[in-house]
Chains A and B, each alone.
Chain A
Amino acid sequence: MRLEIKDLHVHYGKIEAIKGVSIVVNEGEIVTLIGANGAGKTTILKTISGLRPATSGQIIFNGEDISKVPAHKRVDLGLSQAPEGRGIFPGMTVLENLEMGKFHRHDRKSEMDEDLEKVYTLFPRLKERVSQAGGTLSGGEQQMLAIGRALMARPKVLLLDEPSMGLAPQMIANIFRIITEINKTGVTILLVEQNAQQALQRAHRAYILETGNVTKEAKASDLLNDPAVREAYLGTGAH
């Protein structure tokens, strides 16, 4: 399942937020999109998942342009997102949140249990909290829930929007370790991050986004050693 974005333009009113971005995510890869606040990372993800309409350009998934497909149908196709700010349902329990992840599938109970088991294996903490309301979880647990819920849809490509946002360093390391694990089970991942250090260590390839344009595309390990990137995004260039 290859995800390709071709010359994507997105507007907020008259303001052009995304100015012709092209991105390729090959099957089995972790690709990360890094950039500062306001660069347009979240906008790109929202456009891929269908929450924002594209002004022009194509989103090609599995060989088909899906840029006109409504968001809820893109889930059927195999695109699943853990949204920015986690977007869990605060009044639903952990279990109900996870069940919502399967809303579009008319699965039998056994399949549901199977997928729940997979999520609990990745996030044992969620199993301890099944009957607790989503809104009462800690930030890290909410992020686990958001990712777990996205996995319930059995995605081919998983879109992650700043999974490290607002988390303690230990939790961040934990989440990124699990992202790699998920990828190893065959799920392709597009990861949007501000935490460039972690993202570049985990990803295969990376794109750097600046005010709506891709300014650099390279192997993640190369960017990690690129002096310009280190200075701008890793905060270690001054040494």
Chain B
Amino acid sequence: MKNFNLRDFGADIWERSGRPVRVTIVMVTIGLVSLLPFAGAGFLATPIAAYDAVLVYPVAIFVLMALGLNIVVGKSGMLDLGYVAFFAIGAYTMGFLGIHTSLNTWEIMPIGIGLAMFAGVLLGIPTLRLRGDYLAIVTLGFGEIIRIVALNVSWTNGPNGISGIPMPPDLGPLKFRLDDQKGFFWVVLIMILLTIWMIRRLSVRRPGRAWEAIRQDEDAAELMGVPTFKYKMWSFTLGAAVGGAAGVLYGSKNLFVAPEMFTLNVSILILACVVFGGIGNIWGVIVGGAILGYLPDRIRFISDARLLVFGLVLIIVMNFRPDGLLPRKKREKAIVKKGAQA
């Protein structure tokens, strides 16, 4: 009855399962994922790079950032090519306050998030009236501006960056050590779960409906009485907040931040995670972030051909699954149902 096609296969697993199945899926997944740092000995091991460090950055941080960017790109349909700016702001906040004040990572976290959101508002006020390509260009410019500022002002130490950023203090059972990064992974995992929770809560409420309407037809949304500018701003700032949080964690994990870490490439890569995984679908985005974060380090042994293989995987997957690995529900294509039941 239902035609099989590779493009849409599996897109409705979640919708088709009942509540007990869903709860089981979620609990088992969280359990398995939190055990990931112990799985470093087998097939998953990354040559050259330390496995538990790779799990934190890029993998978990990419997933977190992809989730944040998905609020902007996937939910409300605004193409943001300068997402790295918020990541950089978070990381530099951590770096600067970490070495100049006695605040620790957890105290700096809300400041970093706040500054990223503030930057989001500052950038949003003039630019969110733009649409599509124009917004993409302006955000791209903003990302570069932040990097170039970091390169040229004195308090960031210019190209030398900020080094000697302190490690976070232990958080109950969570320990943070240079040679054992499990604690970082679990903290990022908690951030990821919080972000998922936030997005899901918002998605079923007014903001979710407003974003959906804006994405599908912004003028029509405005005509329905949706304050489109306000909701776009919310989407943009929430995305910025997640990016800022990721930046603070990254700075604190890496102990060193420098402008060359925050190039346009990062923005593009995170956007690739979103598109590769399935734009607009948080599960897809998570898978996308995890794979694109992990793959380059897994195949590091082929050194020079690494990026070639990486690109090839991207092209092959996007060819067969153009809507991403786990596409969002696509009702635009829905076949006419028996309307009489309704």
Partner-B contacts on A (CB < 8 A): 49-51, 70-73, 75-76, 80-81, 83, 87-93, 96, 99-101, 103-105, 127-133, 135-136, 149-150, 153
Contacts of A81 in B (CB 8 A): 223
Chain B residues whose C-beta falls within 8 Å of the C-beta of A89 in the assembled complex: 212-213, 216-217, 220
**Complex contact B216–A72 (CB within 8 A):** no
B141 at the interface (CB under 8 A from A): no
Inter-chain contacts of A130 with B (CB < 8 A)? 339, 342
B339 touches A128 (CB 8 A): yes
- Which one, B225, B330, B336, contacts A104 given CB within 8 A? B225
Question: Measured between C-beta atoms, what is the minimum distance from B329 to chain A in Å?
Answer: 8
Decide yes or no whether B224 CB sits under 8 A from chain A: yes
A146 to chain B: closest CB distance in Å?
9
Interface residues on B, range: 20 to 34
Q: A87-B217, A89-B212, A89-B216 are in contact. Are A72 and B339 (CB under 8 A)?
A: no
A70 to B228, alpha carbons, bound, how many Å?
Answer: 10
Q: Which of A73, A83, A103, A135 has the most CB of B within 10 A?
A: A103
**Residue contact A101 to B222, C-beta cutoff 8 Å:** no
A132–B337 Cα distance when bound, in Å, is 7
Q: Chain B interface (Cβ within 8 Å of chain A)? A: 206, 209-210, 212-213, 216-217, 219-228, 330-337, 339-342
Tell me which of A101, A103, A132 contacts B210 (CB under 8 A): A103
Tell me which residues across on chain B come within 8 A of A103, comparing CB atoms.
Answer: 206, 209-210, 213, 224-226
CA distance A136 to B330 in the complex (A): 12
Inter-chain contact A100/B209, CB cutoff 8 Å: yes
Q: Are the C-beta atoms of B223 and A75 separated by less than 8 Å?
A: yes
Considering residues B212, B220, B340, which has the most beta carbons from chain A within 10 angstroms of its beta carbon? B220
Residue of chain B at shortest CB distance from A95 = B342
**Least CB distance, A238 to chain B, in whole angstroms:** 39
Given contacts A89-B213, A131-B342, contact A136 B227 (CB under 8 A): no
Contacts of B220 in A (CB 8 A): 83, 87-89
